[in-house]
Amino acid sequence: MPDLEPTSPLQRGRWGRVMPYLFLLPAAVIIFTFRLLPIVSALAVSFFDASFGRIRGFAGFGQYETLFSDPKFWQSAANTLWFVAGSVPLSVATSLLFAVLLRRGVRALGLYRTIYFLPVVTSFVAVSMVWKLIFHPRFGFANSVIGRLGESGPLWLEEPTGIFQLLAGTVGAELPAWAGGPSLALVCVILVSVWRGIGYNVVIFLAGLQSIPEHYYEAARIDGAGRLGIFRHVTWPLLTPTTFYVVVMTTILSFQVFAPIYLMTGPLTGGPMGTTNVIVYYLFEQGFGEKGNMGYASAVALVLFAIILALTLFQRKVVEKRVHYA
């Protein structure tokens, strides 16, 4: 009978216990250096009155007290929530729509995947600058097209009025300030962010759709289900794990939006009347702008981290209950 006991020195004794940790060591060092250590450092710095390379004194919870009493922070938090509420549903819905359309036996599927994915691999700097020119209120392409139709175009990235207020104004109605919605400038940034990131989500949804066994669709057709019924009772339930992943990741990335805000609405201005000033932009302005208050910026970063963590845990505990893992 053959000897089934391990004979290699790497499979027995001390080496057998140590080797797995040695294989994990490079990844652990990277995670600790670039993930855990910055979080711990930011937490420590948030309790000090600090700037670049200089600590002026211990502030305790003073940075957080100032943060929660700062109206600019609450404005940036509200703008961030508007951005997330606008970008996440729009990105998920449009990505799923395109993925379903591409799933239906489209010729040259690889070509369409490439076309949809091109904006994702394009530099956000280049994308933002091109769209900034398109939305320019005086010589931009968007207003040029509107002008040819005999109408005057809006200010786009320079418009601080809420989108709901603008729509209500077209029918002669007027809404209170709190119901005005996100500014037109922020809506433009939302549309650009969705356009750039839609290709990644389309590829993810396509992978999820192709993992659904074909015999489920055949059984549904035999039972007389139409396209809507097949999507509702077959595609959607079996696609919920993919949808949950896309929603969680899109939400996290939306809370961290910075580049299009900075590039499209102007550095250190926060857009028209601060209506595009999101939390990460506010953090950048406080820590890396003229103020250079790294202690306060670290407090903002920790609050943003807590918000994202709490929302992700909520999604895991509540939303994931509706996910059907086949």
Residue given tokens 């939302």 in the structure block: 190
* Residue 267 pLDDT grade (very low, low, confident, very high; cuts 50, 70, 90): low
pTM: 0.89
CA dihedral 209, 210, 213, 218 (to 10 degrees): 70
* CB-CB contact of 293 with 273 (8 Å): no
Domains of the chain: 9-63 (no CATH), 70-322 (1.10.3720.10)
Compute the mean pLDDT over every residue in the chain, rounded to the nearest whole number.
Answer: 88
* Residue 256 pLDDT grade (very low, low, confident, very high; cuts 50, 70, 90): very high
CB-based burial label for 36 (10 Å; 0-12, 13-18, 19+): exposed
Model pLDDT, residue 225: 86
The whole-number average pLDDT for the span 29-33 is 95
* CB-CB contact of 247 with 319 (8 Å): yes
221: its two tokens: 């057709």
Is the pLDDT assigned to residue 1 strictly greater than 80? no
The whole-number average pLDDT for the span 42-49 is 91
The whole-number average pLDDT for the span 161-178 is 87
Distance CA 326, CA 121 (A): 32
DSSP letters along 291-315, please?
S--HHHHHHHHHHHHHHHHHHHHHH
* CB-CB contact of 113 with 202 (8 Å): yes
CA dihedral 261, 166, 82, 95 (to 10 degrees): -80
Among 18-22, 133-137, 184-188, 301-305, which is the least confidently predicted range? 18-22
The whole-number average pLDDT for the span 116-132 is 91
Please indicate whether residue 77 or residue 175 has the higher confidence score (pLDDT).
Answer: 77
Return the closest-CA partner of residue 197 out of 125, 120, 137, 127.
Answer: 120
81: its two tokens: 């929530």
The whole-number average pLDDT for the span 216-242 is 90
Among 94-103, 111-120, 263-272, 293-302, which is the least confidently predicted range? 263-272
Model pLDDT, residue 106: 66
Model pLDDT, residue 112: 79
